[in-house]
Structure 1
Amino acid sequence: MNEWISSILSIVIVLAFLVGLEQVGKRLGWTDETIRKSVHIAVGHWSLLAVWLMDSWYVAAVPLVFFTFANAVLLYKSPSPVHQTERKSFGTVYYPIALLIILYFFFESEPLAFLAGSLVLAWGDGMAALIGRKYGTVIYDLYGQKRSFQGSVAMFLSSYVVLFLLFLWNDVVMWQVVTYGFIISIIATLTEAISYRDWDNFTIPIIVTVATSLLL
């Protein structure tokens, strides 16, 4: 399949999946935050489609440019719970911008690093928010923003599982899978903890991608 067609097809797949996920969430009685973070997790898997279906970074950039502008518009226009939060959140805009940056530098030369940054953001940050909001009882405060110990543990464990499976899938030797996965997960957890407000959607993928590139 022509990679330009694949690029457009990936947009259609993501849009269809997100609309379906939102409808399922509403039928099951999920909270707006649960729907929003489930979408956050699902969107990160676009990177797998990109690596499987496309060869050139500029072709893969098309969907990310589309979603950057679409999310910026929907941030002010959409009634969807994906964009409606307690305060105006720019995380949905920072997300594709960060992926564009790591796409440009790593997609063709180090796709493993690109996938690591995208999937750790999806699962680690997503699960940190879901677990932290529901079970977070031990709270710590960094310059006015509250995080929970339970959310940080979820961030670490989710990141580690993602990296462990991703590294195994790419035939990384076991000692590196175990140790480097641990180190990068710690880095990702600390990055999430100290990032101000929605900036974790920007900082996590970039820092995780760079750390993966340096270690592997």
Structure 2
Amino acid sequence: MITIFTSLESDYPLWLQISSVATWITLVLSVAWIVNRSTSKNSEIVRKIVHIGTGNVILLAWLLDIPAILGISASIIASAIALLSYRFPILPGINSVGRKSLGTFFYALSIGILVGCFWYLNQPYYAALGILIMAWGDGFAALIGQRFGKHKYKLFGGQKSWEGSLSMTLTSYVISSLILCSVQGNIWQTWVVALAVAIAATALETFSFLGIDNLTVPLGSAALAFLLNQLLGNG
């Protein structure tokens, strides 16, 4: 674990890494604020803008080789703010005071865990895979399910739609395929692992009690992709 805290070397200067992330987060929150001001009828849209937008920070962290200690520290701070926001109106439009979901907290926590694990293993693309599946897959599943979900089903006490679940599967497959293909090439393992991850992510997303899917989906997807590639001799 020493590598996490001491490896601050990168091809990019620290000021560029931090400013790039800060600029992106500011842009996402600004868009969410504008939408929240213009459409007060559906706060779910605001939450998904932030959900999808902030998840893409993991791409910046990977591509700019941001040190793990920065990602972990940001995760801790974001997790603390998320917990406070459930009691105080810190994140209006994203969390409602008293809202029975810890999704925002789990989301921030999952980023820190994945960065800590896969930066240490020098395989940050697995962290990106897990977070992006949560960001885009779950985000589209919720939006499409609410807008076009006519065929409902109940599982683990929650109601989902087949349209939303199919969107989750397809999005997860595309994301997994693109990331794995970019690092290990166009080989059969890429497509098999991507399909398995997409199915598993969809299954994990169906259980969303208290927003726990924001933790289980990214961690489960990244872990499964890593383990399958190890077993298939492509780790």
The two structures have a TM-score, normalised by structure 2, of: 0.82
SS in 2 for 1:83: coil
Per-residue CA deviation, residues 153-199 of structure 1 (Å, 9 max, x unaligned), is: 11101111111222222243332232211111001001111342400
Could you tell me how far apart the structure 2 residues matched to 1:184 and 1:122 are?
15
Mark the runs of 5 or more structure 1 residues left unpaired by the alignment: none
Mark the runs of 5 or more structure 2 residues left unpaired by the alignment: 1-11, 230-235
The equivalences for 1:112-127 within 5 A come to: 112-127=125-140
Q: Does the CA-based 8 Å contact 1:90-1:198 persist in structure 2?
A: yes
CA 1:194 to 1:23, structure 2 compared with 1: closer, same or farther past 3 Å?
closer
Q: How far did residue 85 of structure 1 move? A: 8.3
Name which structure has the greater RCO, CA cutoff 8 Å, separation 6+.
1
Equivalent residue, structure 1, for 2:113: 101
CA 1:9 to 1:62, structure 2 compared with 1: closer, same or farther past 3 Å?
farther
Could you tell me how far apart the structure 2 residues matched to 1:152 and 1:159 are?
10
Q: How far did residue 87 of structure 1 move? A: 3.3
Q: Does the CA-based 8 Å contact 1:14-1:46 persist in structure 2?
A: yes
* Matched pairs, number: 215
Deviates more, 1:61-70 or 1:146-155: 61-70
The two structures have a TM-score, normalised by structure 1, of: 0.89
Out of 36, 39, 49, the residue aligned to residue 47 of structure 2 is 36
Equivalent residue, structure 1, for 2:31: 21
SS in 2 for 1:141: strand
The equivalences for 1:175-190 within 5 A come to: 175-190=188-203
1:88 aligns with 2:100: yes
CA 1:27 to 1:77, structure 2 compared with 1: closer, same or farther past 3 Å?
closer
For 1:150, give the aligned amino acid: E
Equivalent residue, structure 2, for 1:138: 151
SS in 2 for 1:77: coil
Out of 216, 222, 230, the residue aligned to residue 203 of structure 1 is 216
SS in 1 for 2:170: helix
Which of the two has higher C-alpha Rg? 2
Report percent identity of matched pairs.
Answer: 28
Q: How far did residue 151 of structure 1 move? A: 1.0
What's the RMSD between the two structures over aligned residues?
Answer: 2.2
Out of 55, 58, 61, the residue aligned to residue 50 of structure 1 is 61
Could you tell me how far apart the structure 2 residues matched to 1:34 and 1:52 are?
28
